[in-house]
């Protein structure tokens, strides 16, 4: 019997992978990861790596990998169910013994349908001169938004009524229970009657990267608390795993992304031409949101409010973004509390200059390190300098490193030359480790012959490589799974050359199409620990690379060409073989 998806996710979330793995392996921090000697094969140089940012592990030596459940499967020689039970007992979680009959289940597509209908209701009310006049005046006159911007973001207005939205949606055939699950209606404890949760509020639809309306944010028009009301988690929405305006920003943020606090900041930035801005959804940034940003950009500029709360939030954001390998810069605006106000007062050109002059996170890190030690003593100064050198060694550009070296040398009272020597020593050591790891990966790639996990790969290396690209992208990105589901990219299990690749594709897409959506943790039920390690390797290989949709399209074309040639050779159809080879050659000349 399969374990319910929500239980698997709870088991994975409540068993910290560092704690679990740390009870078997001595781990040491290495940048945003932790390394140790692999418990699954003999080695002298650590190649076993734990990635706290996404609660996974991978050994670059033997290929073992997966999540915390997979680790216990291998460490204790258990199957998936037994390993999940082991961790469930550790965390005090009960695994249900009967079928999953949760009353709160609801198809995601149904949630999206209801939300779309609600978004249209809110929009129509905003543009209705009778009901939306005050809200429209607020947006256009007080906030300075154009009609084009209002339409672009699908802004709306929830009337000051207890039941207008509910009556409208029930008239379309949706039940009160469904509205409750979508966080659009509540039930009065006094009367027992349903009421609209969003009332007398400007409405900000939250849209995912595939164009689905997944939730709403609402700003009070009369300062009724809370000032901002945001959808709670629903069967189609997890607040911690989404970002406002990512559906637009993802097309404009390859080099950098601006992280804001609120909806209006994002809208103001997009209206001013800064279309790489996003915001968290009424909460502090989460590790999941940091991982999402790392999929789309190389650098994040934090533009939070200038008050104490905003700066504290920026400190947390810097840490989480740094843990997933992003370059982080901080924008501190003077003369305005937030980007929206700043642009109104000083204009977009001045804001662009502020962006260009945003400070790196180095100064913040430097101050944090110095605060830990008494740099008036030799011992304290040595320890502080050692940590600072590790931070500088992470910087990719030599010019930037030189600036930080001079900065640190002046404030620590050390010579720039000595700090530079230590930094370069650290970088040389890391380069050696990378080459060793890269060499192991190349050797592993050449060992398709005798591959027990994917034995078909040796028969067509080009097809196997294309499959790895495709599966890595589908494992990482929701929108690419939607592109396949909706036929924008034509791909099916029959297009895969290897049996293993076809199985992974089938499971990924079945989970994606399920009511609760794709879950990496849930994927583990369908594969052995060794197969889970191979799946983790597909994710690791794509992480940090250029992952736009054209890469996916190209890999799909390559796979189909190789599959067509292989099928023709297998059938002995010479004419089909000639056609397939011509198609491949034609594309190679383009």
The per-residue pLDDT for range 275-285, each reduced to its tens digit, is 999 999 877 89
**Is 269 a domain residue?**
yes
Q: What six digits make up the tokens of 285?
A: 């940034």
Q: Return the higher-pLDDT residue of 354 and 1.
A: 354
| pLDDT above 90 as % of the chain | 57
Question: For the domain that residue 509 is a member of, what is the CATH number?
Answer: 1.10.860.10
**Whether residue 222 is found in the same domain as residue 259:** no
**Whether residue 273 is found in the same domain as residue 297:** yes
**Is 439 a domain residue?**
no
* Residue 17: predicted pLDDT: 94
**Whether residue 119 is found in the same domain as residue 65:** no
**Whether residue 582 is found in the same domain as residue 535:** yes
Q: Of the candidates 91, 123, 153, which is a domain's last residue?
A: 91
Under a CB-based contact definition with an 8 Å cutoff, are residues 278 and 259 in contact? Answer: yes
**Whether residue 544 is found in the same domain as residue 574:** yes
Split into its structural domains, the chain has a count of 5
**Whether residue 125 is found in the same domain as residue 75:** no
| pLDDT above 70 as % of the chain | 92
**Is 504 a domain residue?**
yes
Domain hosting residue 478, numbered range: 455-589
Scan for tokens 């000051």, then name that residue: 160
Question: For the domain that residue 230 is a member of, what is the CATH number?
Answer: 3.90.980.10
* Residue 363: predicted pLDDT: 80
Q: What six digits make up the tokens of 346?
A: 């000083």
**Is 97 a domain residue?**
no
**Whether residue 374 is found in the same domain as residue 351:** no
Least confident of 79-88, 163-172, 191-200: 79-88
Three-class secondary structure of residue 63 per DSSP: coil
**Is 22 a domain residue?**
yes
Q: Using 50, 70 and 90 to split pLDDT, how confident is the model at 446?
A: low
Question: For the domain that residue 261 is a member of, what is the CATH number?
Answer: 3.40.1360.10
Question: For the domain that residue 34 is a member of, what is the CATH number?
Answer: 3.90.580.10
Q: Is the pLDDT of residue 444 over 50?
A: no
Question: For the domain that residue 372 is a member of, what is the CATH number?
Answer: 1.20.50
**Whether residue 75 is found in the same domain as residue 129:** no
Q: Using 50, 70 and 90 to split pLDDT, how confident is the model at 447?
A: very low
Beta bridge partners, 219, equal 202, 228
The per-residue pLDDT for range 500-529, each reduced to its tens digit, is 999 999 999 999 988 778 889 999 889 999
Q: Tell how strand 56-59 and strand 213-220 pair up.
A: unpaired
Q: Of the candidates 357, 391, 419, which is a domain's last residue?
A: 357
* Alpha helices, DSSP H, located in 334-397: 339-346, 348-356, 362-372, 378-393
**Whether residue 350 is found in the same domain as residue 370:** no
**Is 247 a domain residue?**
no
* Residue 534: predicted pLDDT: 94
**Residues 6+ away with beta carbon under 8 Å from 197:** 183, 184, 185, 186, 229
The per-residue pLDDT for range 283-327, each reduced to its tens digit, is 789 877 888 898 889 899 999 876 667 767 887 888 788 777 788
**Whether residue 309 is found in the same domain as residue 400:** no
**Is 438 a domain residue?**
no
**Whether residue 197 is found in the same domain as residue 272:** no
Q: Of the candidates 65, 91, 117, which is a domain's last residue?
A: 91
Name the most confidently modeled range: 254-258, 313-317, 439-443, 447-451.
254-258
The per-residue pLDDT for range 463-502, each reduced to its tens digit, is 999 999 999 999 999 999 999 999 999 999 999 999 999 9
**Whether residue 188 is found in the same domain as residue 209:** yes
Q: Tell how strand 185-187 and strand 156-158 pair up.
A: unpaired
């Amino acid at each position: 019997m399969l374990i319910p998806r929500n239980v698997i996710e709870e088991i994975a979330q409540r068993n910290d992978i560092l704690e679990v793995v740390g009870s078997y392996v001595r781990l040491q921090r290495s940048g945003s990861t932790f390394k140790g000697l692999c418990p699954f094969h003999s080695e002298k140089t650590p190649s076993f790596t734990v990635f706290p940012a996404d609660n996974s592990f991978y050994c670059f030596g033997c290929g073992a990998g997966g999540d915390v459940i997979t680790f216990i499967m291998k460490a204790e020689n258990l199957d998936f169910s037994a390993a999940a039970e082991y961790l469930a007992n550790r965390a005090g979680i009960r695994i249900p013994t009967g079928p999953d009959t949760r009353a709160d289940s609801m198809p995601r597509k149904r949630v999206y349908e209801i939300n779309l209908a609600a978004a249209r209701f809110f929009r129509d009310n905003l543009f209705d001169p009778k009901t939306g006049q005050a809200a429209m005046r607020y947006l256009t006159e007080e906030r300075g938004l154009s009609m084009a911007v209002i339409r672009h973001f699908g802004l709306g207005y929830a009337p000051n009524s207890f039941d207008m939205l509910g009556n409208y949606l029930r008239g379309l055939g949706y039940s009160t229970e469904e509205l409750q699950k979508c966080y659009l209606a509540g039930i009065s404890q006094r009367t027992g009657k349903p009421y609209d949760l969003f009332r007398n509020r400007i409405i900000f639809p939250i849209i995912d990267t595939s164009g689905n309306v997944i939730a709403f944010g609402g700003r009070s028009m009369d300062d009724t608390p809370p000032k901002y009301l945001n959808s709670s988690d629903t069967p189609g929405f997890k607040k911690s795993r989404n970002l406002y305006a990512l559906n637009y920003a993802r097309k404009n943020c390859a080099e950098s992304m601006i992280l804001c606090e609120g909806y209006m900041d994002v809208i103001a930035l997009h209206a001013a031409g800064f279309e790489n801005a996003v915001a968290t959804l009424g909460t502090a940034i989460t590790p999941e949101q940091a991982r999402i940003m790392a999929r789309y950009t190389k650098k994040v500029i934090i533009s939070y409010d200038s008050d104490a709360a905003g700066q504290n939030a920026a400190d947390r954001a810097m840490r989480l973004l740094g843990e997933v390998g992003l370059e982080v810069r901080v924008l501190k605006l003077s003369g305005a509390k937030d980007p929206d106000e700043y642009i109104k007062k000083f204009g977009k050109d001045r804001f662009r200059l502020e962006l260009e002059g945003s400070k790196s996170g180095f100064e913040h890190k430097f101050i944090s390190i110095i605060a830990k030690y008494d740099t008036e003593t030799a011992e304290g100064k040595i320890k502080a300098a050692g940590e600072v050198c590790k931070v500088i060694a992470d910087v990719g550009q030599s010019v930037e490193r030189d600036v930080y070296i001079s900065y640190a040398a002046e404030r620590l009272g050390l010579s720039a030359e000595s700090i530079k020597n230590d930094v370069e020593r650290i970088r040389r050591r890391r380069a050696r480790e990378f080459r060793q790891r890269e060499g192991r990966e190349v050797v592993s790639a050449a060992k398709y012959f005798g591959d027990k996990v994917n034995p078909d790969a040796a028969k067509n290396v080009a097809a196997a490589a294309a499959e790895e690209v495709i599966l890595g992208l589908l494992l990482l990105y929701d929108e690419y799974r939607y592109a396949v589901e909706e036929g924008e990219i034509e791909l099916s299990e029959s297009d895969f050359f290897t049996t293993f690749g076809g199985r992974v594709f089938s499971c990924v897409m079945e989970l994606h199409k399920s009511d609760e959506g794709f879950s990496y943790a849930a994927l583990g039920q369908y594969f052995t620990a060794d197969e889970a390690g191979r799946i983790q390797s597909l994710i690791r290989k794509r992480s940090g690379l250029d992952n736009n949709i054209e890469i996916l399209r190209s890999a799909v074309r390559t796979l189909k060409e190789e599959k067509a040639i292989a099928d023709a050779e297998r059938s002995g159809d010479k004419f089909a073989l000639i056609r397939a080879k011509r198609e491949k050659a034609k594309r190679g000349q383009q």
